[in-house]
A and B are shown apart, each in its own frame.
Chain A
Amino acid sequence: NAGVTQTPKFRILKIGQSMTLQCTQDMNHNYMYWYRQDPGMGLKLIYYSVGAGITDKGEVPNGYNVSRSTTEDFPLRLELAAPSQTSVYFCASSPLSNQPQHFGDGTRLSIL
């Protein structure tokens, strides 16, 4: 099993550009999450989903959008990239909310 797969691993964007961070899991997990981790800091929840067709905001949703059309995929969209969005983005999944989360390797995003 591949687990949670994130693409791309690295990306540099210019201010105002848009992009989609991809996340796919092959464990048939209901719950999926997007976090950002700034240097030396903890994980901040951006959005999460409890199942296909359902998404909800986390602590820091502004500037991001998500969709969950299938159980496997949970893409994160940045519409107008800003320098404050420079961070490492982690996608995670779990069977239920009270069960361990499995993380992808992360996407390192720089906005210049």
Chain B
Amino acid sequence: GQQVMQIPQYQHVQEGEDFTTYCNSSTTLSNIQWYKQRPGGHPVFLIQLVKSGEVKKQKRLTFQFGEAKKNSSLHITATQTTDVGTYFCAGENTNAGKSTFGDGTTLTVKP
């Protein structure tokens, strides 16, 4: 079946440093979504990428979808303590009817 892998599993940064998490799929994806889960909370949708090579920005967050639509990344510039949480990618195969979540990258930020 489809596998979605995320690296790293954990990332500890000093406030102000940058952060990147990577998502890789074993199959070509029709779309990829990113979610953020704060400690003790539930996943909250951040963004969806659909097109090959697509890049989207949300303030300090930059999301990319690979040319082959098998990988994606989330980059945070100048992290803040409010960025703490676990970031998940979720990829869907064409006509699969469901997405597969990666295991997430947990970000901690030291003030």
Query: Which residues of A does B touch, CB under 8 Å?
Result: 31, 33, 35, 40-45, 48, 50, 56, 58-59, 90, 92, 97-106
Contacts and interface: CB of A to CB of B under 8 A. Distances in A.
A33 B104 CA distance: 18
Nearest to A6: B42
10 contacts: A33-B98, A42-B6, A43-B43, A43-B101, A45-B100, A45-B101, A58-B98, A92-B43, A97-B97, A98-B92
Contacts, number: 55
Interface in B58-97: 88, 90, 92, 96-97
A50 B6 CA distance: 27
Nearest to A33: B98
A45 B88 CA distance: 14
B99 A103 contact: no
Contacts of B6: 42
B15 interface: no
Interface residues of B, number: 25
B24 interface: no
Nearest to B94: A98
A59 B99 CA distance: 11
Interface of B: 1, 6, 30-31, 33, 35, 41-45, 48, 88, 90, 92, 96-104, 106
A42 B41 CA distance: 13
Nearest to A4: B42
A96 to B, nearest CB: 9
A33 B45 CA distance: 15
Contacts of B102: 42
B31 A98 contact: yes
Contacts of A101: 33, 35, 43, 45, 90, 99
B38 to A, nearest CB: 12
Contacts of A59: 1
Nearest to B48: A100
